[in-house]
Amino acid sequence: MSLTLEQCRAGRALLNWSQPNLAEATGLTRETIANFETGAHTPHPNNRAALRAALENAGVIFIDEDDTAGPGVRLRKT
């Protein structure tokens, strides 16, 4: 279960969430999220799992990389 910094940013964008919104949903700091999304720091695996879980619970679907395209995200149909 991976999460790239691009998927994190794109997932937030799909939800129209700010970094503080995601921080509130995960219990992580905004700085942790900002550092991850800029590539300045790779979060602990538990923190990455918390980020992914919060985005998934809000409706983001993660698409794994395959032979023709990189990883991505889309929004679950409501």
Tens digit of each residue's pLDDT (9 = 90 or more) over 12-68: 999 999 999 999 999 999 999 999 999 999 999 999 999 999 999 999 999 988 889
Domain limits, the chain: 5-75
Per-residue pLDDT tens for 11-27? 999 999 999 999 999 99
Burial of 58 (0-12, 13-18, 19+ CB in 10 A): middle
Does pTM surpass 0.85?
yes
pLDDT for residue 1: 66
Q: If you classify domain 5-75 with CATH, what class do you get?
A: mainly alpha
Rounded Cα–Cα distance for residues 28 and 44 (Å): 11
